[in-house]
Structure formats: C-alpha cells, structure tokens
C-alpha cells in the first residue's frame, strides 16, 4: 500500500483489527505465571511494508510461543502521534512492548516510564538516546548499510562527482546512522563532492521536491542516496520528472514493493534491503526471555543485502518486503 496520510490511517485501523484476530492461540505457558504472555508491537508508522514484514516475523514467533500480539502504529512517523499510543498501551499493561521509537529524544522518557512500570521493553529497528532500560535492542547494521550504499554509488560512477543524501528527519536513529555511513565513505573519497543531507519528513512528495530543487541548483549531480523507503520512492519520482534518470544513479535503503518496481524500471540502480522479519522474530524471543526473568541479549545486529536488477529474480527475491503476511 502506498502511504498517504489517508491510506496510513486506513492501514492503522486495518492492522489493529488484523492484530486482534491474529492473537496466537498456542498452549505452551511462556510467562512467569504460566499465563499466555501479552505482547504489544508499536510500529514506527502504520502501512509501511518494512513494519508489515517485521509484523510477519513477530506473528509467527508469537504463535509458536503461544503469546498474544496486539499491533498498533501511528498514522505518521511522528513522536507526537506515537507517544499517546505508548501511554495507552502502558495503561493496558501488556507483559512486553516491542517498539520502533520514532525519535531518539522524544521517545526516551515515555519508554523509560513503561519499563519503570514493570513492562519489558524491546526496541526493534530504531532506538533512543539511552536504551539502558530496554531488555534488548535489535537493529540492522545501519551504518554499514550506508557505507555499502556509497560503495554502490561509486561503482556506478567510478569517475566520482556530486552526491546528495535524502533522509527522513534528524533524530531517527536508523536513518541517521545510514547517513553517517554514507557520509564517511563520500568524504573519504576525493573524487566525490558530498552535497550533504536534506530531510523529507518521510513524505515521498517532499523528497521529490527536494531532489528537483537540488538538481536545479546542481544540475551535474551523479548520485543520490535515499535513506529509507519513502525518501527513495520520492527521490526516484523527482529524478524521473527531471528527465535525469540516465545521469543520476539512485541507491535506496529498504526494499518495499514500490521501490522494487522502480528498480525493475531502471530508475533506481540498487536497494539496501534489511531483514525486518528476523528483527521481529528475535524481538519476540528476547521479550519472552525477559518476561520469564531469563537473561537477554542487550544488543543484536541484523544484516542487510544489496538488491540489484541482476539478483532480483535470484537471491534478492527473498529480501523484498511484504504488503501482508
Ligand atoms: O527504513 C525503515 C526503518 O528501518 C526506519 O527506521 C524507518 O523507515 C523504514 O521503516 C522504511 O520506511
């Protein structure tokens, strides 16, 4: 599903409805009391195929363990919308919350308070400034993925040139780490001129506008790294609208269906796909350990895979994100 504020709202309610019916009905007592553990998954934003794919992993792992899952997500990737969800979930007292915090600073206090209230908190995907309260934090190697994106752009433009980054918002830990990895690569290579990062607020239309304006200012840009699904979708649109698809190489983070379509069409040259289902599965495992009072792994790093038109029908296929489980 393409994310607009309207479809995101629809997706939020659909996902919530789906999650209620997806409560797993296993029999194995996993909680310390022997009751079915109650887990809540709070997405970064509803309707984003990255979190849908993560939910598929969570649902499967919860079903195996006999835990129930309630899923909720804000209509936008925005801490002012996510915080009230956290507060109401805390009031409903689940055994554990799996959450992708939307901002490193704004979500720190609400999540620390959840942990202080006795709820086990597992951070999946993004993190906060000080995650010490969390039972576990599970995320991709985002910095490594950003560096891999730079290497892909360099392969596509061996002579170098001007490169730009389109991200979401500052304070999103994952995207910030990807930008840092890309920037490190670009600044260390004298044949490239790093034009910096611009923020699209997770809105493809805004990303397209930023790219058009950047091309008007620097018509000789050779590459753009777009740091997540929505930045990448909009970047490709902007480049196509400017008629520059033969000049500007695009590497996008993530592998949503719309991004894969752009890859097949040749507007985008490479995607750095994450492993969201694995993040979700491991998130459930860590949450259940924490609920049982067992020791947890404080930090888990998951991998990424570069998808290109060449490997899309082979090894790359399994990395494409899902629109439903
Ligand atoms: O890139 C993912 C996720 O890792 C990031 O934290 C937010 O954006 C996505 O959900 C993709 O839209």
Task: For residue 169, give the CATH number of its domain.
Answer: 3.40.50.2300
Q: How far is the CA of 214 from the centre of ligand 1 (A)?
A: 23
294, part of any domain? yes
Q: Report the chain's terminal Cα–Cα distance, integer Å.
A: 13
31, part of any domain? no
Average pLDDT value for residue range 29-50: 83
265, part of any domain? yes
Examine the domain organization and report whether 186 and 108 are in the same domain. Answer: no
Least confident interval from 19-28, 51-60, 133-142: 19-28
How many independent structural domains does the chain possess? 2
26, part of any domain? no
Residue 239's closest CA among 261, 258, 221, 257? 221
Give ligand 1 pocket residues (Cβ under 6 A).
Answer: 44, 48, 50, 125-126, 172, 174, 228-230, 253-254
- pLDDT value of position 8: 42
Q: For residue 32, is pLDDT > 80?
A: no
Examine the domain organization and report whether 179 and 249 are in the same domain. Answer: yes
- pLDDT value of position 34: 59
Residue to mutate (ligand 1; options 4, 50, 273; most atoms within 8 A of CB): 50
Examine the domain organization and report whether 147 and 91 are in the same domain. Answer: no
| pLDDT tens digits along 172-196 | 999 999 999 999 999 999 999 999 9
Examine the domain organization and report whether 73 and 59 are in the same domain. Answer: yes
Q: How far is the CA of 228 from the centre of ligand 1 (A)?
A: 5
Closest ligand 1 atom number to CA of residue 51: 10
Which residues pair with residue 273 across a beta bridge?
305
324, part of any domain? no
Nearest alpha carbon, ligand 1 atom 1: 228
Average pLDDT value for residue range 207-216: 98
- pLDDT value of position 35: 83
Q: How far apart are CA 215 and CA 162, in angstroms?
A: 11
Examine the domain organization and report whether 197 and 247 are in the same domain. Answer: yes
Q: How far is the CA of 168 from the centre of ligand 1 (A)?
A: 9
User: What is the SS3 assignment for 178-193?
Assistant: HHHHHHHHHHCCCCEE
The mean pLDDT value of the chain amounts to 91
Instruction: State both tokens at 9.
Output: 């709202």
Examine the domain organization and report whether 95 and 154 are in the same domain. Answer: no
Examine the domain organization and report whether 175 and 202 are in the same domain. Answer: yes
Average pLDDT value for residue range 220-246: 97
Query: The domain containing residue 194 runs over which residues?
Result: 142-273
325, part of any domain? no
Q: How far is the CA of 50 from the centre of ligand 1 (A)?
A: 6
Least confident interval from 13-27, 37-51, 239-253: 13-27
Q: How far is the CA of 190 from the centre of ligand 1 (A)?
A: 30
19, part of any domain? no
92, part of any domain? yes
The whole-model pTM stands at 0.91
> Residue 209: in which H helix or E strand, if any?
helix 204-217
Examine the domain organization and report whether 182 and 60 are in the same domain. Answer: no
């Amino acid at each position: 599903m393409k994310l607009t504020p309207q479809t995101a709202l629809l997706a939020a309610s659909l996902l919530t409805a789906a999650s209620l019916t997806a409560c797993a009905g296993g029999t194995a007592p996993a909680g310390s009391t022997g009751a079915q553990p109650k887990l809540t998954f709070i997405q970064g934003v509803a309707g984003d195929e990255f979190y849908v794919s993560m939910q598929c992993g969570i649902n499967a792992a919860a079903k195996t363990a006999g835990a129930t899952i309630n899923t909720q997500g804000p209509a936008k990737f925005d801490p002012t919308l996510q915080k009230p969800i956290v507060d109401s979930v805390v009031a409903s007292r689940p055994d554990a919350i799996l959450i992708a915090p939307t901002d490193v600073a704004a979500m720190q206090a609400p999540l620390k308070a959840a942990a202080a209230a006795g709820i086990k908190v597992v951070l999946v995907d993004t993190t906060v400034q000080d995650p010490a309260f969390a039972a576990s934090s599970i995320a991709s190697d985002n910095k490594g993925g950003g560096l891999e994106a730079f290497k892909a752009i360099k392969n596509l433009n061996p002579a170098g040139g001007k490169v730009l980054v389109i991200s979401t918002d500052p304070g999103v830990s994952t995207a910030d780490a990807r930008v840092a990895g890309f920037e490190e690569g670009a600044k260390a290579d004298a044949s490239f001129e790093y034009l910096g990062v611009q923020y699209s607020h997770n809105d493809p239309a805004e990303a397209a506008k930023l790219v058009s304006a950047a091309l008007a200012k620097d018509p000789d840009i050779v590459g753009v790294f777009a740091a997540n699904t929505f930045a990448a979708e909009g970047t490709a649109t902007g480049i196509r609208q400017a008629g520059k698809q033969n000049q500007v190489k695009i590497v996008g983070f993530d592998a949503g269906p719309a991004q894969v379509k752009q890859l097949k069409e040749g507007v985008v040259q490479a995607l750095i796909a994450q492993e969201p289902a694995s993040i979700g599965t491991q998130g459930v495992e860590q949450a259940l350990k924490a609920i049982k009072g067992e020791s947890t792994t404080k930090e888990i790093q998951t991998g990424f895979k570069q998808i290109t038109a060449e490997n899309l029908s082979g090894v790359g296929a399994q990395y494409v994100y899902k629109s439903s489980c």
